[in-house]
Structure 1
Amino acid sequence: MLSKTEIRILDLLPSSGLNNSDAPIQCRSRVVPFPTDIDFETLSYVWGTVQDVINISVDGNDVPITTNLAAVLKRIRLVGEIRTVWVDQLCINQQDEEEKANQVALMGRIYSTTSQCLIWLGEIGQDISLSDAQTGLDFIYYVSEGKRKQEGTSELSVSVDFDSVEALRGPMRALDSIGLKYNPWWARMWTLQEAVLPPKACVLWGQLSIQWETIVSAASRWISLPYDPVIYAYYDTLYNIFSQVRGLVFAKENRQGPLDTAFRWSFRGASNPLDKVYGLIGLFPPGTFPRARACDYGLSPATLYAMFTADLIEHHQSLHPIALRYLRNLPQSTPELPRWAFDLAVSGPQFAFTLDGGDYGWYLMSTYDCYNACGATTIDWSRFRYDQTLNALELTGCMLDSIAVAGPRPRGEEPDTSNLSRAGVARMIQDWYQIAEEFYQNQPRHESIYDTNSWPESFWKGLLANIKLDSDSFSEGPATSEDIALAKEFVRTGSRNETYYSMFANLVHRKMIITKTGLLGFGPHHAEVGDQVWILPGGKMPFVLRPSEGQSLSTNELLFIGSSYVDGIMEGEAMELVEPAIDIVLR
């Protein structure tokens, strides 16, 4: 078994003069201290299925590997010399969980110190001609440099009119096959750090290749190109490559913190759900994730995701990681996951509802810092603790009020669908307004500490969460009286206007709630009557929590329901009304 200061590297032997594609693959392995002065390349590829394997020779022994790995090894094998590589499938004993944990913890450094990463996008599809594939790559070079390749730089390059939609139809179809929509390389968690960390990379596609830096340059120029009818005709094809490349560039330039990175890339899959976390760790300095850093493959996904969420809270010194909507009862939801934890396994149907086709996925990520419900308070780190035995979060909180009214949850227009139409949303808002009006008409004035006469203003502000959003769900500032007037107009007419994004983004995640003392807000879709609104020191939004059934009051154990907007307490006003913070346990 390898120690924590060793790695195994692979010498890929030459093909001994035989036809390179037919010669059997032969390798020698070496165990070397790590870090090492030996130059080695790394591979980035999609494993493929473990049922689809082929035997190769390693140190004279037959070793099964996936056919996709065998394909790339044949492609990169040199004719007259040894090529030294590190490849996870062969350089880590996949049957030894302890070695696997040790080596996975080193993978960030392995990919950071490689001489070059070889990114394998697979063989060229049988229905794609070699000339179309090469011309597609030439077009990327053309966008990158703003000019054609020099004559003779590629023996396969052909003369194609890059100003013709029809002439590019075949090459763009070829590029489409290696983009996000059809090529699984872009959708695997491990390939994130494999593309981000190496100092140099080369993309391999069958017998063709292109430098990663060329694709990066093309992606950078593409975003700022003036309108071009030819390029626009193939916008989706180019977007499915260049948008992903730009995201990887942002990650390489450290523009994203751990929470943003985890949220942004959680759509990527992994054969082992634990790798949804372990595939991210190498992107950040040692110590960023003290709990998850051990890469323990004996943990359950529910425990690891909770540990990772606690690490995110401590790293960012913020409760933002628990303010992201917790998605329940989706096909990929992690069993037994605490409600406060970030579920990285939900990568397919990310959102339970869409409105007019939009999922507004970044809403809770981009708007959390617009508020300051906790006022001047901060997280009490002396009381903050993650309990791995209970898989629970211990911290402090202040209970403000109980929910007396929980409006009906949005429902899809058609059976078994999750999409809501503009007309359906307008009707739902009208129903909520009527429910609120009946509540306040029957509310005894002396039992409320809030001005119940102002509830209509709170209702309309709450629909927008008191912010104006742009089309990407980022705040442009507080909602104005004009924005509220437009919200009313939408409910009256059902016509799309400038408040469309603000209202729909909020309602994808929330429904109307009213507390016993008359606070009106919008809380998680699964909030119920009897749930409680809490202020958590250091939390910029109020949180809806539910007392656990069968628990004694002394334990203060609460089920986490989600973050909320409650009008009138979003800037710390409630801190003058609540009792001192007490110890609580979130499940």
Structure 2
Amino acid sequence: MLSKTEIRILDLLPSSGLNNSDAPIQCQTRVVPFPTDIEFETLSYVWGTVQDVTNISVDGNDVPITTNLAAVLRRVRLSDKIRTVWVDQLCINQQDEEEKAKQVSLMGRIYSTTSQCLIWLGEIGQDISLSDAQIALDFLHYLSEGRRKQEGTSELSASVDFDSVEALREPMRALYTIGLKNNPWWARMWTLQEAILPPKACVLWGELSIQWEVLVSAAARWVSLPYDPVMYAYNDALYNILSQVRGFVFAKENRQGPLDTAFRWSFRNASNPLDKVYGFIGLFPPGTLPRVRSCDYGLSRATLYAMFTADLIECQKSLHPIALRCLRNLPESTPDIPRWALDMGVSHIQFSMTVDGNDCAWYLMSTYDCYNACGETTIDWSRFRYDQISNTLELTGYMVDSIVVAGPGPRSRIDEPDTSNVSRAGVVRLIQDWYGIAEEFYKSQPRHESTYDTNSFPDSFWKGLVGNIKVDPELFPEGEATSEDIALAKKFVQTGIKNEIYESIFGNIAHRQMIITKTGLLGFGPNHAEVGDQVWILSGGKMPFVLRPSEGQSLSTNELLFIGSSYIDGIMEGEAIELDKPATDIVLR
């Protein structure tokens, strides 16, 4: 078994002049100290299924590997000399969980110190000609150079008019096959650090290749181009590659912290669900995520994701990680995960509900910092604790009120067969239902003398409907909602026609339902909120949270089931905090 200061590298023996496709693959392994002065390249590829395997010779023994790895080894093998590479499938003993944990924790450093990463996107499709594939790559070169013909362009595309939509029809079809929607490399969790960390990378597509920096340059120029008929005609093919490349660039330039990275890339897949976390911890300095850094493959998914969430809270010095999506009862949902934990097993592509076709996944990520419900309070780190045995989170907070009206939730308005989508008309009907329920509630109640100086019920309803903010089409906040925005929200409900405020409405509704508290506070809370749940302000939490008293627990333990974040009009700027009242210790499940 390898130690923490060793790695295994693979010497890929030459084909010795034989036909590369026919010559058997032969390799030898070496155990070397790490870091090492020996130059080696790394491979980035999709494993493929364990049922689809072939044997190669490793140190004189027949060793089964996936056929996709065999394909990339043939592709990179040299004819006349050894090529030294590091590849996870052969350089880590996959049967030894202890070695695997040690080596996975080193992978960030391995990919950072490689001379080059070879990214394998697979063979060119049988229905695609080599010339069309080459033209597709040459077009990316053309785009990277500011749409100027450059010397060295392949003869295959020398006569192609890159400004002609018709001339590029087949090349762009070829390019589409290696983008996000069709090529699994872009959806694999491990490819993040494999492409981001190396100082240099080369993308291989069948017998063709293109340098990674060409894609980076093409992506940068692509987003800044004015309207262009060619770009417009083939935007989908370009978007499926270049938007992903831009995401890699953001991560490489450290524009994304661990929380943003986890949320942005959680749609990516991993054969082992634990690698949904382990697959990108190498992107951050040692000590950033201390609980999960050991890469313990003996942990349950629920425990790892909870540990990871606790690490994120401490790293961000914020409760934002628990204010994100709380997805329940999906096919991917992690069994037994505590409700406060970020479920990395669930992809936002398979969201529990969409509104007018949009999952609004980024709404809770981008709007959390718009509020300050905790006022001057901060997280009390002396009382913050994650208990790995019980998978609970201990912190402090202030109970505000109990919920007496909840819902109906948006799922009750799903009106497209065999989908989880609420149509625009369904949204309008839902808002009208909520308003009617609220109106009836306030008519039947004595006038509340609100402690929190809330506005009248209609004002609270319309402000709450948009979260009192206006967001742009990408769900990023533009500022506090104005009276004009509220008027637009009312107009949308009257006409059902999209306008400048509908993103704010849809983003909010995709995650929330109307709630009213015992003292008459009106807001919008998690879709899973129920009558009897409680509204809490957690110390340092910028939004109120809905918590549910645990059944059968004594009051002295203050164990509460986490339900989710909320907007409650009138207490979003610290109005509910009484600084002379000590915070209560609570345990979240």
TM over 0.5: yes
1:88 corresponds in structure 2 to: 88
8 Å contact from structure 1 (residues 403, 533) kept in 2: yes
8 Å contact from structure 2 (residues 140, 218) kept in 1: yes
Q: Helix, strand or coil: the match of 1:512?
A: strand
8 Å contact from structure 1 (residues 332, 348) kept in 2: no
Change (3 A) 1:497 1:577: farther
1:250-296 CA deviation, whole Å, 9 max, x = no partner? 00000000000000000000010000000010000000111000100
Q: Helix, strand or coil: the match of 2:161?
A: coil
Query: Is 1:484 matched up with 2:486?
Result: yes
2:544 corresponds in structure 1 to: 542
TM-score computed with the length of structure 2 as normaliser: 0.98
Counterpart-to-counterpart distance in 1, 2:481 and 2:384: 35
Point out where structure 1 has 5 or more consecutive residues left out of the alignment.
Answer: none
1:234-383 to 2 correspondences below 5 Å: 234-347=234-347, 349-383=349-383
1:139-166 CA deviation, whole Å, 9 max, x = no partner? 0000011356656553544421111111
1:111-122 to 2 correspondences below 5 Å: 111-122=111-122
Correspondence for 2:553 among 551, 561, 568: 551
8 Å contact from structure 2 (residues 371, 573) kept in 1: yes
Counterpart-to-counterpart distance in 1, 2:538 and 2:337: 21
> 1:318, CA displacement in angstroms?
0.2
2:576 corresponds in structure 1 to: 574
1:521 corresponds in structure 2 to: 523
Change (3 A) 1:470 1:348: closer
> 1:322, CA displacement in angstroms?
0.1
Q: Helix, strand or coil: the match of 2:217?
A: helix
Change (3 A) 1:415 1:37: same
> 1:307, CA displacement in angstroms?
0.2
1:388 corresponds in structure 2 to: 388
1:235-258 CA deviation, whole Å, 9 max, x = no partner? 000000000000000000000000
2:177 corresponds in structure 1 to: 177
Q: Helix, strand or coil: the match of 1:395?
A: strand
Counterpart-to-counterpart distance in 2, 1:532 and 1:43: 51
2:37 corresponds in structure 1 to: 37
Q: Helix, strand or coil: the match of 2:283?
A: coil
> 1:356, CA displacement in angstroms?
1.4
> 1:504, CA displacement in angstroms?
1.0
1:207-246 to 2 correspondences below 5 Å: 207-246=207-246
Change (3 A) 1:427 1:446: closer
Counterpart-to-counterpart distance in 2, 1:158 and 1:453: 68
Change (3 A) 1:475 1:223: same
1:71-94 CA deviation, whole Å, 9 max, x = no partner? 111111111111000000000000
TM-score computed with the length of structure 1 as normaliser: 0.98
Query: Is 1:510 matched up with 2:500?
Result: no
- Tell which deviates more after alignment, 565-574 or 12-21: 12-21
1:414 corresponds in structure 2 to: 416
8 Å contact from structure 1 (residues 28, 58) kept in 2: yes
Correspondence for 2:564 among 562, 573, 586: 562
1:434 corresponds in structure 2 to: 436
Q: State the number of aligned residues.
A: 587
Query: Is 1:16 matched up with 2:16?
Result: yes
Q: Helix, strand or coil: the match of 1:223?
A: helix
Counterpart-to-counterpart distance in 1, 2:43 and 2:448: 71
Query: Is 1:462 matched up with 2:491?
Result: no
1:47-62 to 2 correspondences below 5 Å: 47-62=47-62
Change (3 A) 1:452 1:30: closer
Q: Helix, strand or coil: the match of 2:419?
A: coil
Q: Percent identity?
A: 83
> 1:349, CA displacement in angstroms?
4.2
Point out where structure 2 has 5 or more consecutive residues left out of the alignment.
Answer: none
- Tell which deviates more after alignment, 452-461 or 318-327: 452-461
1:6 corresponds in structure 2 to: 6
Structure 2 counterpart of 1:363, one-letter code: Y
Counterpart-to-counterpart distance in 2, 1:393 and 1:290: 16
Counterpart-to-counterpart distance in 1, 2:524 and 2:153: 61
> 1:545, CA displacement in angstroms?
0.1
8 Å contact from structure 2 (residues 13, 77) kept in 1: yes
Change (3 A) 1:451 1:86: closer
> 1:421, CA displacement in angstroms?
1.9
Change (3 A) 1:169 1:248: same
1:289-308 CA deviation, whole Å, 9 max, x = no partner? 11000100000111000000
Q: Helix, strand or coil: the match of 2:29?
A: strand
Structure 1 counterpart of 2:50, one-letter code: V
